[in-house]
């Protein structure tokens, strides 16, 4: 409880909303009236032709609700480019055990949704996922940007470019490496107004989004949405922790009982009386009698 309260106080003291709040991220980059921030971020991340960004169509561009329930657990930005590429961008601030499986599932769904019954497979366009993680996901290397496609494990030859996953891990972000992608991730990771000002001075495109963030931070509805989203995440994390702790307790109890049953079986083999075994192990006479039947 203390950590939640301190997190809330920190959020209140901060002079600007965190872009890592996925509701804030969607307000910044998922606005159909202003796709320039999104296209500039994508250009820094993906290796696709620049002309593909000349026509960007956002899916579900509006924040229709004032609050969030568990069914709205994922707030992402989805779009189509001029050629038909389907791109999904999402923020994750905590590492979930099934995260990789979920990403693959969504990516596969982005492919299957492109064609209906009787349509040709040749019409399928690449499906691309960009996962921005505020934790270390890929332990195998120190790169903050990893790009995955379908390749042969031995020769390295590419089977297809129809599936692509890009991971952007903020904890791995080094000192300025001179790339525009670093500027964008630095913006997402910024902890102070001074950091934002430095990035804005360095990169004109980031400067526009910094200004947009400051405007949002003064907007009461935007703050309410961000706080609602944070509260939902904190509540979900709390429930998950409680479930894990309960599961561990039950597991320990089950493990202890199984151990005592093993001791009881050995004692029965030695010919000890059920009453003596019950006194030794603390198991009920009924449970010990049941062991003699197996």
Q: What is the pLDDT of residues 211-242, one digit of tens each?
A: 999 999 998 888 888 887 777 666 656 665 66
Same domain for 275 and 186: no
Q: Considering its fold, how many domains does the chain have in total?
A: 2
Query: Among 167, 197, 218, which residue terminates a domain?
Result: 218
Query: Among 199, 218, 237, which residue terminates a domain?
Result: 218
Domain assignment present for 21: yes
Same domain for 259 and 214: no
Angle of CA points 103, 104, 107, to nearest 5°: 85
Same domain for 190 and 258: no
pLDDT of residue 3: 41
- The C-alpha atoms of residue 167 and residue 141 are separated, in whole angstroms, by 12
Domain assignment present for 106: yes
pTM tops 0.75, yes or no = no
Among residues 164, 168, 184, the alpha carbon closest in space to that of 85 is found at: 164
pLDDT of residue 2: 36
Same domain for 278 and 173: no
Same domain for 264 and 151: no
Same domain for 286 and 197: no
Domain assignment present for 184: yes
Domain assignment present for 241: no
Domain assignment present for 246: no
pLDDT of residue 269: 80
Same domain for 197 and 55: yes
Domain assignment present for 101: yes
pLDDT of residue 133: 94
pLDDT of residue 61: 41
Same domain for 77 and 166: yes
CA atoms within 13 A on the CB side of 254: 6
Same domain for 137 and 279: no
92-96: long-range pairs with CB below 8 Å, 24+: 92/131, 92/132, 92/133, 92/134, 92/135, 93/20, 93/134, 93/135, 93/233, 94/134, 94/135, 94/233, 94/237, 95/133, 95/135, 95/137
Residues of the chain with pLDDT under 70: 1-14, 60-75, 117, 232-254, 256, 276, 279-280, 293-294
Domain assignment present for 243: no
Same domain for 266 and 156: no
Q: Which range of residues forms the domain containing residue 268?
A: 253-291
Same domain for 121 and 262: no
Query: Among 218, 245, 263, which residue terminates a domain?
Result: 218
pLDDT of residue 66: 40
pLDDT of residue 271: 75
Domain assignment present for 239: no
């Amino acid at each position: 409880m203390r950590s939640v309260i301190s997190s809330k106080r920190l959020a209140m003291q901060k002079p600007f909303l965190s872009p890592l709040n996925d509701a804030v991220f969607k307000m910044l980059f998922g606005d159909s009236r202003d796709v320039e921030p999104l296209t500039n971020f994508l250009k820094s991340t993906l290796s696709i032709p620049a002309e593909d960004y000349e026509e960007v169509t956002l899916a579900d561009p509006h924040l229709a609700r004032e609050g969030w329930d568990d069914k709205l657990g994922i707030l992402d930005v989805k779009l189509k480019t001029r050629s038909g590429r389907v791109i999904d961008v999402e923020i994750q601030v905590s590492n979930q055990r099934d995260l990789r499986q979920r990403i693959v599932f969504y990516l596969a769904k982005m492919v299957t949704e492109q064609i209906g019954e009787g349509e040709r497979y040749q019409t399928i366009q690449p499906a691309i996922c960009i996962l921005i993680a505020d934790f270390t996901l890929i332990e195998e290397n120190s790169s903050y940007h990893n790009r995955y496609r379908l390749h042969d494990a031995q020769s390295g030859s590419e089977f297809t470019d129809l599936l692509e996953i890009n991971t952007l891990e903020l904890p791995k972000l080094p000192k300025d490496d001179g790339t525009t992608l670093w500027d964008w991730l630095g913006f997402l990771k910024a902890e102070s107004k001074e950091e934002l000002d430095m990035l804005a001075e360095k990169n004109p495109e980031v400067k526009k989004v910094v200004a947009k963030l400051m405007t949002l931070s003064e907007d009461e509805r935007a703050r309410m949405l961000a706080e609602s989203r944070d509260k939902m995440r904190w509540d979900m994390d709390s429930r998950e922790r409680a479930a894990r702790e309960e599961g561990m307790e039950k597991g320990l109890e089950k493990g202890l009982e199984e151990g005592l049953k093993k001791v009881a079986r050995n004692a029965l083999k030695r010919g000890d009386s059920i009453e003596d075994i019950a006194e030794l192990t603390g198991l009920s006479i009924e449970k010990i009698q049941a062991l003699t039947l197996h």
